[in-house]
């Protein structure tokens, strides 16, 4: 059942509940339904009202009962079905109407999923809620592409950032990140939503001290059957991504751990 055409409409009898319903923020993982936690799979299978994001895997969505009210509130670059404020307003309205609501988010709700904002709003509104963690996109991309995020010989820490371009005061599009921090050696840098800003990211990392030969890779549609990994260096990856027509969703991974990818990926392919 879908409420996509009028997601704010519910039967009038439900709009005056004696007590608010409960909201569960559930991490759907990076796409493969077999990577769901046991708890997440159980909650999805018993859901009655589901608000889901665009990046939730198709196989995960298929686990939602056919009898459930399913509301697509997905946001992609330049295409938002509802604003973030609109999503929060809808969640609070449904919960205050007494609905048991499952908020299904790609990856982990608290890792670049804006789950923290939603949880904060629910707390301020007095709505009871729970958070169920999921495998993050970075974890899924690294494991399935053959790129360990940490390794004693390569990286002792991981830094995750978002690569959203923003409009600067002069009309140019900028990316305000701590570039000296990101350009340190012996670490892995994972950039979410960085495909559009890839040339700028690579340029800035080189300008702040990383070698142009630093291994870097884009992992597109991680954990799904159509997953692919385009690997190169900070110098070569922007051109490779253009030639290979890499599209979101894709994660950028930078660091010498990426040099392990060809060997590990081949070994995993043999074991499949």
Q: What is the mean pLDDT of the chain?
A: 92
Tokens 């070569």 label which residue? 236
Same domain for 240 and 150, yes or no, is: yes
Radius of gyration of the chain (CA): 20
Catalytic residue (choose from 32, 53, 105, 108): 53
Tell me which DSSP letter residue 257 carries. G
Q: pLDDT tens, 100-139? A: 999 999 999 999 999 999 999 999 999 999 999 999 999 9
Total count of domains within the chain: 2
pLDDT of 233 over the 80 cut = yes
Per-residue pLDDT at 128: 97
Helix, strand or coil for residue 148?
A: coil
Task: State the pLDDT confidence band at 272, using cuts at 50, 70 and 90.
Answer: confident
Residue in 128, 122, 103, 1 with CA at minimum distance from that of residue 43: 103
The answer as to whether 159 is a domain residue is yes
Boundary of a domain, candidates 76, 106, 135 = 135
- CATH number, residue 249: 3.30.950.10
- CATH number, residue 124: 3.40.1010.10
Q: pLDDT tens, 240-269? A: 999 999 999 999 999 999 999 999 999 999
Dihedral of alpha carbons 202, 207, 213, 216, sign: negative
Same domain for 64 and 98, yes or no, is: yes
Dihedral of alpha carbons 218, 29, 110, 133, sign: negative
Same domain for 148 and 265, yes or no, is: yes
Same domain for 57 and 38, yes or no, is: yes
Boundary of a domain, candidates 100, 135, 170 = 135
Query: Per DSSP, what are the bridge partners of residue 102?
Result: 24, 50
Catalytic residue (choose from 39, 48, 72, 75): 75
pLDDT of 5 over the 50 cut = no
Same domain for 35 and 111, yes or no, is: yes
44-53, 144-153, 158-167, 250-259: range with lowest mean pLDDT: 158-167
Asked if 53 is an active-site residue, the reply is yes
Residue in 270, 11, 1, 17 with CA at minimum distance from that of residue 146: 270
pLDDT of 7 over the 60 cut = no
Same domain for 163 and 240, yes or no, is: yes
According to DSSP, the β-strands at 173-174 and 228-233 are unpaired
The answer as to whether 122 is a domain residue is yes
Angle in degrees, CA 126, 130, 132, rounded to 5: 155
Q: pLDDT tens, 170-179? A: 777 889 999 9
Domain that holds residue 31: 12-135
Give the whole-number percent of the chain exceeding pLDDT 70.
Answer: 91
Q: pLDDT tens, 216-231? A: 999 999 999 999 999 9
Asked if 6 is an active-site residue, the reply is no
Label each residue of 48-102 as H, E or C.
Answer: CEEEECCCCCHHHHCCCCCCCEEEECCEECCEECCCHHHHHHHHHHHHHCCCCEE
Per-residue pLDDT at 78: 53
4-13, 21-30, 56-65, 128-137: range with lowest mean pLDDT: 4-13
Q: Give 199's contacts (C-beta < 8 A, 6+ positions apart).
A: 238
For residue 124, give both structure tokens. Answer: 């301020």
pLDDT of 11 over the 70 cut = no
Give the whole-number percent of the chain exceeding pLDDT 90.
Answer: 85
């Amino acid at each position: 059942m879908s409420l996509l055409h009028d997601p704010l409409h519910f039967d009038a009898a439900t709009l005056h509940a004696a007590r608010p319903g409960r909201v569960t923020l559930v991490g759907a993982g990076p796409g493969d339904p077999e990577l769901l936690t046991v708890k997440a799979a159980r909650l999805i299978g018993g859901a009655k009202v589901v608000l889901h994001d665009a990046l939730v895997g198709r196989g995960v969505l298929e686990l939602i009962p056919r009898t459930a009210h399913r509301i697509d509130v997905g946001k992609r670059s330049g295409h938002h079905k509802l604003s973030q404020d609109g999503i929060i307003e809808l969640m609070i309205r449904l919960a205050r109407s007494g609905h048991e609501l499952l908020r299904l988010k790609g990856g982990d709700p608290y890792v670049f999923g804006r789950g923290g904002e939603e949880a904060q709003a629910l707390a301020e509104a007095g709505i009871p809620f729970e958070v169920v963690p999921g495998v993050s996109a970075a974890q899924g991309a690294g494991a399935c592409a053959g790129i360990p995020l940490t390794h004693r010989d390569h990286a002792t820490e991981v830094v995750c950032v978002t690569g959203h371009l923003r409009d600067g005061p002069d009309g140019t599009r900028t990316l305000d990140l701590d570039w000296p921090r990101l350009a340190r050696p012996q670490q892995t840098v994972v950039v979410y939503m960085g495909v559009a800003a890839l040339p700028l990211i690579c340029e800035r990392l080189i300008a702040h001290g990383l070698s142009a030969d630093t291994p870097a890779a884009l992992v597109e549609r991680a954990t799904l059957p159509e997953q692919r990994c385009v690997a190169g260096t900070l110098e070569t990856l922007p051109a490779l991504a253009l030639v290979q027509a890499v599209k979101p969703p894709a994660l950028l991974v930078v660091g010498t751990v990426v040099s392990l990818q060809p060997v590990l990926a081949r070994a995993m392919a043999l074991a499949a």
